[in-house]
């Protein structure tokens, strides 16, 4: 699906709002000029960059639906980071409530579904076929209870993770570095098994890199028969 890019991304009243918060936080000196725009981030990322006397702010699109107080809170967080000022606790709390609200989470999911480009999906790698492996694991460990998500190898090698389940897109992508000679099959199977546990226990706030693992998850993970061997191999694997 193609990304839609509205022409004008300026946040109405954004410059004034940032000025106001700049003053409220007690930042010293002459405030920069603020250029405040919405940016099609697919999560609650906001960024600020200071270039000479202009601060370029990008607020996640999701903020378009946020009340002014929440935009102010985001401004306080960004400015606090830039000028080393701690935003007041009530502001932080307001922002936290917004970011955890079910409605916000729903909007984020919808945005990501809309924007995610479909993965070129090649479950059959050079060495390992993820579909066949999924079916085997599903039978051995899940009583065939999991519905198969899209499966594929990443287009590029990743430097920080082995695999990733994205619940919004219902897809598992595996680091293509694992699809090569010298990587034992049980290692690939373990990584896929781990991602399948995320399919089984979808996290409300789950996003590849931010997934956390409960003690129950960790316990279930150890049911994988070659868990110890796989961990041992991965200790020396140049990823992570």
Residues at the contact surface with Zn ion, assessed by CB under 5 A? 211
Which residues, including other chains, have CB under 8 Å from residue 126's CB and lie 6 or more apart? 179, 180
Nearest to Zn ion of 152, 163 (CB atom) = 163
Helices (H), the chain: 14-24, 68-83, 89-100, 102-115, 130-142, 185-200, 215-221, 227-235
* Shortest distance (Å) from residue 178 CB to Zn ion: 15
Nearest to Zn ion of 181, 235 (CB atom) = 235
- Decide if 34 contacts 14 (C-beta within 8 A): yes
* Shortest distance (Å) from residue 213 CB to Zn ion: 6
Please, is 218 exposed, middle or buried when counting C-beta atoms within 10 Å of its C-beta (0-12, 13-18, 19+)?
exposed
Which residue number places its CB atom closest to Zn ion? Answer: 211
* Shortest distance (Å) from residue 105 CB to Zn ion: 19
Q: Are strands 150-153 and 171-174 parallel, antiparallel or unpaired?
A: parallel
Nearest to Zn ion of 103, 160 (CB atom) = 160
- Decide if 128 contacts 103 (C-beta within 8 A): no
Nearest to Zn ion of 86, 218 (CB atom) = 218
* Shortest distance (Å) from residue 40 CB to Zn ion: 26
* Shortest distance (Å) from residue 198 CB to Zn ion: 6
Nearest to Zn ion of 115, 200 (CB atom) = 200
* Shortest distance (Å) from residue 130 CB to Zn ion: 16
Q: Which residues of 99-120 are buried (b: 16+ CB within 10 A; e: fewer)?
A: beeeebbebbbebbeeeeeebe
Nearest to Zn ion of 99, 211 (CB atom) = 211
Helix-, strand-, coil-residue percentages of the chain, each rounded to 5: 45, 15, 40
């Amino acid at each position: 699906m193609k990304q839609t890019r509205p022409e004008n991304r300026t946040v109405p009243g954004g410059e004034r709002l940032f000025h106001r918060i700049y003053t409220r936080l007690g930042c010293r000196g002459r405030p920069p000029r603020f250029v405040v725009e919405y940016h099609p981030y697919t999560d609650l990322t906001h960024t600020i960059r200071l270039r000479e006397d202009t601060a370029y702010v990008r607020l996640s699109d999701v903020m378009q639906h946020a009340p002014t107080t929440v935009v102010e809170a985001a401004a306080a967080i960004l400015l606090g980071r830039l000028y080393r000022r701690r935003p007041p606790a009530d502001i932080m709390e307001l922002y936290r409530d917004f970011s955890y609200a079910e409605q916000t989470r729903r909007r984020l999911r919808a945005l990501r579904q809309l924007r995610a480009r479909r993965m070129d999906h090649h479950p059959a790698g050079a060495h390992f076929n993820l579909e066949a492996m999924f079916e085997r694991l599903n039978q051995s460990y899940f009583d065939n209870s999991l519905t198969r998500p899209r499966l594929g190898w990443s287009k590029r090698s990743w430097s920080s993770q082995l695999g990733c389940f994205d619940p919004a897109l219902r897809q598992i992508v595996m680091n293509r570095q694992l699809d090569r000679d010298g990587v034992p099959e049980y290692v690939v199977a373990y990584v896929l098994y781990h991602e399948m546990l995320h399919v089984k226990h979808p996290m409300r706030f789950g996003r590849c890199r931010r997934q956390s693992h409960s003690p129950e998850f960790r316990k279930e993970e150890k049911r994988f028969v070659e868990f110890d061997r796989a961990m041992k191999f991965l200790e020396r694997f140049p990823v992570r």
